[in-house]
Copies of this chain bind each other. A is one copy, B any other.
Amino acid sequence: MDLARSPLAVPFPELPAIEGVTLRVARARYKNWDRCDLTLVELAPDTSVAGLFTKSACASSEVELGREQVKLGQARALVVNAGNSNAFTGFRGREAVEQIMAQVAGALDCEPSDVFVSSTGVIGVPLPKDKARAGIDAALEAQPCGWRNATDAIGTTDTFAKGASATAILGETRVELAGIIKGSGMIAPDMATMLGYVFTDAAVEPVFLQEMLDKANAATFSCITVDGDTSTSDTVLAFATGKAGNAPLAGWDDAGADAFYAALLEVCRTLAQLVVRDGEGAQKFIEIAVSGAESDESARRVGLAIANSPLVKTAIAGGDANWGRVVMAVGKAGEPADRDRLSIGFGGTWAAKDGQPLPDYEEGPVAQHLAGQEIRMDVDLGIGEGCAAVWTCDLTHGYISINADYRS
């Protein structure tokens, strides 16, 4: 099936070249298509790496190996296969990943553990080793390409290419960050897999890079949901080549650490929101701002309970200010809440305050807001200081069509 471009799509931005990062793409033909589906990113020696992986108990070999590799802190290459997730393929799947790692390590004269591999696509079909080998060979000989080509090559059922960039000044040194991501389109039996990569020329110690990535993740990737279904392949990796020449960042007290974190956070937030904008069947982008919770983490959980509620998502799809369904979702979240202190608003207008509908509530401005594509929901629990923002999309006939009407 051909998927129409998401109505929430944004143009692919100009991304800066990152010194120490060389992109190449090739046709491995993992599926019966004529497009680049293998991406090889060569990284300068001594590049630091940090990573986040799905918590799925059924993760792919790529994820299992990646979890171990990031502990070593060094990377020389990244390979992304599109069209086959290689998940649930047992030892044969693992052999394919190890073959790729060895092949690239041989060509770049590094350790196999310096080669990171991600795969996205069909579950249950071992990644064909012969196609992978030929694809790597072709990529090694290819001319370097730009961000847009690489972003297209890692995509599967994405309806638009997604990237983001930022800069930071570390002392006297200007550093660049560029990130790309794929995710949230799917055709049966493929799965929603989110693969995201952030590259920077800054010098950052691996342990601190991981610490900043974990912190940024908590406020970005961990705050989005399309359908609440966690992939077996979700991966976010951050690579720091150090080519900018700054004094390596090793902790929060270092000059420029806060500036770098702010830039990293901005890139992660943009990438995360872009995934939601390509959510299957999405017609509306929804920001849910939760305040007054017992803690930030509690606020995030409440926000995700609302964002994952099919009744809330269909209400928004229908332009219906159905705050009763929001009450329901808060109630089922399993977090501290007090019905009689709960307030709910849409687009800056409160519909209910302190556990009761507002007597002078005017539906007009709210209906106008909900008719748009950018929806804002405010939920105040009234019991503490915790707050969080969560992003999701609406649940529409498009979602059903994509996932039920077409056979694999």
Tell me the A residues contacting B by CB distance below 8 Å: 54-59, 87-90, 92, 122-125, 186, 188-192, 227-232, 308-311, 314-315, 317-320, 322-325, 327-340, 342, 352, 354-357, 394-397, 399-401, 403-408
Contact = CB atoms under 8 A, between A and B. Distances in A.
Given A318-B406, A319-B407, A58 B330 contact: yes
B188 A315 contact: yes
Contacts of A328: 56, 58, 123, 191, 229-232
Contacts of A357: 88, 124-125
Q: Is the interface of A mostly helix, strand, loop or mixed?
A: loop
Contacts of A228: 308-310
B229 A318 contact: no
Contact of A352 (B124, B188, B335): B124
A1 to B, nearest CB: 12
A88 to B, nearest CB: 5
Contacts of A309: 228-229
A188 B318 contact: yes
23 contacts: A55-B334, A57-B334, A57-B339, A58-B328, A89-B356, A124-B324, A124-B352, A186-B311, A188-B315, A188-B322, A189-B324, A191-B324, A227-B311, A228-B308, A228-B309, A229-B309, A230-B331, A310-B403, A314-B399, A315-B403, A318-B403, A318-B404, A322-B408
Given A191-B325, A318-B407, A331 B232 contact: yes
A76 B397 CA distance: 47
Given A311-B227, A311-B229, A88 B327 contact: yes
A175 to B, nearest CB: 36
Nearest to A402: B314
Contacts of A395: 310, 400, 404
A323 B191 CA distance: 11
A338 to B, nearest CB: 8
A355 B87 CA distance: 10
A306 to B, nearest CB: 11
A314 B339 CA distance: 34
Given A90-B340, A355-B88, A400-B395, A57 B123 contact: no
Contacts of A314: 399-400, 403-404
Contacts of A55: 332, 334
A335 B314 CA distance: 29
B232 A311 contact: no
A371 to B, nearest CB: 12
Contacts of A397: 397, 400-401, 404
Contacts of A330: 57-58
Nearest to A337: B57
Contacts of A227: 310-311
A342 B56 CA distance: 14
Given A55-B334, A87-B324, 15 more contacts: A88-B327, A88-B356, A90-B356, A123-B325, A124-B352, A124-B357, A189-B322, A228-B310, A230-B328, A314-B399, A314-B404, A315-B404, A318-B404, A318-B407, A396-B404
Contacts of A355: 88, 90
Contacts of A186: 311
Contacts of A322: 188-189, 408
A87 B323 CA distance: 12
A311 B192 contact: yes
